[in-house]
């Protein structure tokens, strides 16, 4: 097995759980750069084995580190040249839906970086699908969120593929997931299965301390990040929970909550039914 990667951290997590927020916050931390989905994850399926996969990511990290240190830029998804806290616009368009506002390209990083600075790369679904081999070689952590709020967020964004109950890159990298989703006609049931699949992989392939809850991140004003990035202990951000976002359909949330509460299994690996009942009670 190759030596454990130094200075490179992989961020995975449930889509719409706060992974983009984490990237935005980390870019406020000294000697840390976080990139928002910078790689072409469809190339991962071309890797012959785990060693080829980790080499591909290592090579990308090496080039990004060189570019950041020597030229002050990297390739990443961004909004107006910055990694913002949310990929979805905080307003609705003419059709009444929230639009996606990210593009992919160069971002400038105007901060001092030591030779051994920490580079964090976020790819939620792709890294979740490949977590078993990646967690042996890289420091990895996952961001999760109350399952009811997660599903409500998915269903508020028409452009999000998980709204239809599909996760294309995860299905490409995990044929078992693809087969299970293909058997289910109800998109909400497929959504819940994607949640269960994700939680199951985090429980199996990550230590407990490598799981970060969105709610803890908000409650600690971002200092929860210090568990992984010690310099983040100095953060004091005015974060507000969006678990009851004004764009979430309250009637749909009621149905989603009831469906979740009827389930058993990995959807409850990190949250309890009381967590969902509490949020449902606020709807």
Three-class HEC string of 67-96: HHHHHCEEEEEEECCECCCCCEEEEECCCC
Mean pLDDT over 113-119 rounds to 96
For residue 35, how many other CB atoms are within 10 A of its CB? Answer: 27
Give the span between the Cα atoms of 52 and 58, in whole angstroms.
Answer: 10
Q: What percent of the chain has pLDDT over 90?
A: 87
Give the span between the Cα atoms of 57 and 40, in whole angstroms.
Answer: 10
Domain boundaries, the chain: 8-278
Would you say domain 8-278 falls under CATH 1.20.120?
A: no
Cβ-contact 12, 131 below 8 angstroms = yes
pLDDT in the model for residue 55? 96
Give the span between the Cα atoms of 195 and 135, in whole angstroms.
Answer: 20
pLDDT in tens, 149-201: 999 999 999 999 999 999 999 999 999 999 999 999 999 999 999 999 999 99
Give the span between the Cα atoms of 175 and 203, in whole angstroms.
Answer: 20
Residue reference for tokens 């890294």: 127
pLDDT in tens, 202-235: 999 999 999 999 999 999 999 999 999 999 999 9
Q: How far is CA 262 from CA 19, 138, 256, in A?
A: 28, 36, 10
- Residue 141 bridge partners (DSSP): 11
Of the pLDDT bands very low, low, confident and very high (cuts 50, 70, 90), residue 99 is low
């Amino acid at each position: 097995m190759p030596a454990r990667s130094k200075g490179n951290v992989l961020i995975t997590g449930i889509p719409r759980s706060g992974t983009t927020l984490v990237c935005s916050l980390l870019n406020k931390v000294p000697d840390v750069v976080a990139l928002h989905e910078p790689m072409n994850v469809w190339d991962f399926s071309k890797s012959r084995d785990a060693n080829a996969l980790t080499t591909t990511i290592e090579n990308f990290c090496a080039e990004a580190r060189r570019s950041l240190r020597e030229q002050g830029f990297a390739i990443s998804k961004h909004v107006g040249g910055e990694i913002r806290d949310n990929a979805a616009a905080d307003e609705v368009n003419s059709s009444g839906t929230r639009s996606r506002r990210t593009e992919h390209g160069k971002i400038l990083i105007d901060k001092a970086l030591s030779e051994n600075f920490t580079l964090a790369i976020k790819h939620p679904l792709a890294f979740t699908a490949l977590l078993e081999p990646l967690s042996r070689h890289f420091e990895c952590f996952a961001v999760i969120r109350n399952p009811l709020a997660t599903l409500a967020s998915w269903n508020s964004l028409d452009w999000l593929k998980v709204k239809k109950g599909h996760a294309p890159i995860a299905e490409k990298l995990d044929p078992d997931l693809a087969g299970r989703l293909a058997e289910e006609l109800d998109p909400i049931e497929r959504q819940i299965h994607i949640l269960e699949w994700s939680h199951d992989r985090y429980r199996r392939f990550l230590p407990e301390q490598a799981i970060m809850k969105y709610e803890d991140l908000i409650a600690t004003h971002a200092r929860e990040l210090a568990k992984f990035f010690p310099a983040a202990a100095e953060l004091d951000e005015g974060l507000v929970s969006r678990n009851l976002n004004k764009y979430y359909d309250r009637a749909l949330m009621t149905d989603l909550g009831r469906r979740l509460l009827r389930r058993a299994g990995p959807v409850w690996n990190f949250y309890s039914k009381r967590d969902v009942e509490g949020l449902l009670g606020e709807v």
